[in-house]
Structure 1
Amino acid sequence: MREFVFALEYDPGTNPVADVLEAHPDTTVRSLSCHVTPESLWRVDHATGSRAALEALEEAYRDATYCADCLVRDDCGADCEAQVLDRSGEELVVYTYWARTDVCTSVPHLALEHLGEGLLFETYREGRRYRWRIVLADDAPVHAFFDALGEEVGECAGMEILRLTDLDPDREATAADDPLPGEQRAALRAAVERGYYETPRRIHLSELAEELEVPRSTLSYRLRRAEAELARAFVRGDDPLDRVAPGG
């Protein structure tokens, strides 16, 4: 088995959930489950954030023009359903379902068509960035799938391959126990290497964001999340610096 990890970066106005996450940088959405058949898709997401952010996120999920993960920019005509399963002060659990129409497509549907059955999906969203992790067979045609995804995404989102690796239960660390997601790790490493943390700073945040080709707000959020995790790890007595060292 292998894992394929990639990310989509939605442009403003192309995805209501991404718009809410961009407006509320401290809010994240992680999938609890995601299932697909040729005719439908259903999933459960867990969101964390402020009360105001979660209210806006719930409204985005219930938007009549929004079907979870549908890549069609115009109204696809699908029968969509969104149901809140749990709501607390800073947490929201949402179930979404949609029945596919002739024009509908999505990441899971394209994966099913090109990579076959038996896939496992895991997603994580922050800002406009939507990270996918798919566990698939060793011989699955990953590049054909990614090419097809690029054709469907078109100009509404950027795409980036993060890794394609074999699943190895004997390796010392996995993505699940790594305290820093890949994009936070990359942002922190770039900030250190370019002198953002030096006094005086050798580079400003906006300049670093431009070099990394990400929005300034996205870079600021990733650095703050990485800094917070490193601080928590320090208090716990971990040695998080080993995990973000160059080449680590």
Structure 2
Amino acid sequence: MRELVFALEYAPGTNAVADILGANPETTIRSLSCHVSSDHLWRVDHVTGGDEALSDLTNTVADAEYYTDCLARRDCEADWETDILDRSDDALVLYSYWTRTPSCTSIPHLALDHFGDGLIFQTTWVGHRYEWRIIAPNDTTYHAFRNAIEAEIDDTTGVTFVRVGDAEETTPDDSSAALTGEQDAAVRAAVDHGYYETPREIETYELAERLGIPGSTLSYRLRRAEAKLAEAYVSERNPSAAPPSSNI
């Protein structure tokens, strides 16, 4: 299998979801599943963040004039629906279904047109950066697909192609080294707000208030994230001495 990793970069004021995420750096959207047919697209996404950001996202994606994966630069008259499958104070699960029209397309549909069936999609959206990872058959070539994306997006959206190569080369041997969505969001927010600066620009309780979570929860997530990152750092430089993994 081969993979293509690329990211859309939205300019401020050009994408409603990107603007909400940009104003709430602790909030992250990750795909749990994404499926496409010639005429339809359906997906489930897991969102983590503060309660206010989740409410703003809920209202935005439910708007009849907005759909996250639509690349059209005009009204494409597509039909879609977004439903809330689950909601808590700091997490949201969204189900979305979209019917394609001749004047509107999406990244999964462009991939289907160029690569055929059997594709795997993974997405992560933080701030104004919406990153895609597509797994496709070994004989896949990406040049025409890249041109198609660049032709669809407008001048307010940049696209950066990060990597093309064998999927096995970037598949971790131990998935426990990866941060959870909550840990990733906590670390990103801590960096953005100067938590790791010297002297520290924000205290734990202040950052927790910004994120809308208890201070003890934030401290725990940061500690677990820091432990995983430290273990991964040591393992990368001395694999034979890698410490036992933690599944917490």
Q: What TM bracket, shorter-length normalisation?
A: 0.7 to 0.9
Partner of 2:8: 8
- Unpaired runs of 5+ residues, structure 1, are 192-196, 201-227
d(CA) in 1 for partners of 2:73 and 2:235?
Answer: 39
Q: Is the counterpart of residue 239 in structure 1 residue 231 in structure 2?
A: yes
d(CA) in 1 for partners of 2:125 and 2:221?
Answer: 17
User: Could you say if the C-alpha distance between residues 233 and 78 of structure 1 is closer, same or farther in structure 2, counting changes exceeding 3 Å?
Assistant: closer
Alignment of 1:11-160 (within 5 A): 11-160=11-160
**Cα shift readout 1:195-236 (whole Å, capped 9, x = no counterpart):** xx9989xxxxxxxxxxxxxxxxxxxxxxxxxxx988535546
d(CA) in 2 for partners of 1:13 and 1:172?
Answer: 35
d(CA) in 1 for partners of 2:117 and 2:171?
Answer: 29
Tell me by how many angstroms 1:37 deviates. Answer: 1.1
Q: Is the counterpart of residue 167 in structure 1 residue 167 in structure 2?
A: yes
d(CA) in 2 for partners of 1:33 and 1:55?
Answer: 22
Kept in 2, the 8 Å contact 1:68–1:96? The answer is no
d(CA) in 2 for partners of 1:235 and 1:67?
Answer: 38
Paired residues in the alignment total 205
- Unpaired runs of 5+ residues, structure 2, are 200-219, 238-248
Kept in 2, the 8 Å contact 1:14–1:73? The answer is no
User: Could you say if the C-alpha distance between residues 198 and 79 of structure 1 is closer, same or farther in structure 2, counting changes exceeding 3 Å?
Assistant: closer
User: Could you say if the C-alpha distance between residues 159 and 242 of structure 1 is closer, same or farther in structure 2, counting changes exceeding 3 Å?
Assistant: farther
The residue type paired with residue 179 of structure 1 is A
d(CA) in 1 for partners of 2:10 and 2:112?
Answer: 22
Kept in 2, the 8 Å contact 1:7–1:159? The answer is yes
Identity %: 48
Tell me by how many angstroms 1:168 deviates. Answer: 2.4
Tell me by how many angstroms 1:148 deviates. Answer: 0.8
The residue type paired with residue 21 of structure 1 is L
CA RMSD of aligned residues (A): 3.1
d(CA) in 2 for partners of 1:110 and 1:117?
Answer: 12
d(CA) in 1 for partners of 2:162 and 2:153?
Answer: 17
d(CA) in 2 for partners of 1:11 and 1:40?
Answer: 28
User: Could you say if the C-alpha distance between residues 242 and 41 of structure 1 is closer, same or farther in structure 2, counting changes exceeding 3 Å?
Assistant: same
The residue type paired with residue 8 of structure 1 is L
Runs (4 or more) in structure 1 with deviation over 2 Å come to: 171-181, 197-200, 228-245
User: Could you say if the C-alpha distance between residues 236 and 153 of structure 1 is closer, same or farther in structure 2, counting changes exceeding 3 Å?
Assistant: closer
The residue type paired with residue 156 of structure 2 is C
TM-score normalised to structure 1 length: 0.73
Partner of 1:224: none
User: Could you say if the C-alpha distance between residues 235 and 88 of structure 1 is closer, same or farther in structure 2, counting changes exceeding 3 Å?
Assistant: same
d(CA) in 2 for partners of 1:198 and 1:89?
Answer: 29
User: Could you say if the C-alpha distance between residues 154 and 117 of structure 1 is closer, same or farther in structure 2, counting changes exceeding 3 Å?
Assistant: same
Tell me by how many angstroms 1:177 deviates. Answer: 5.2
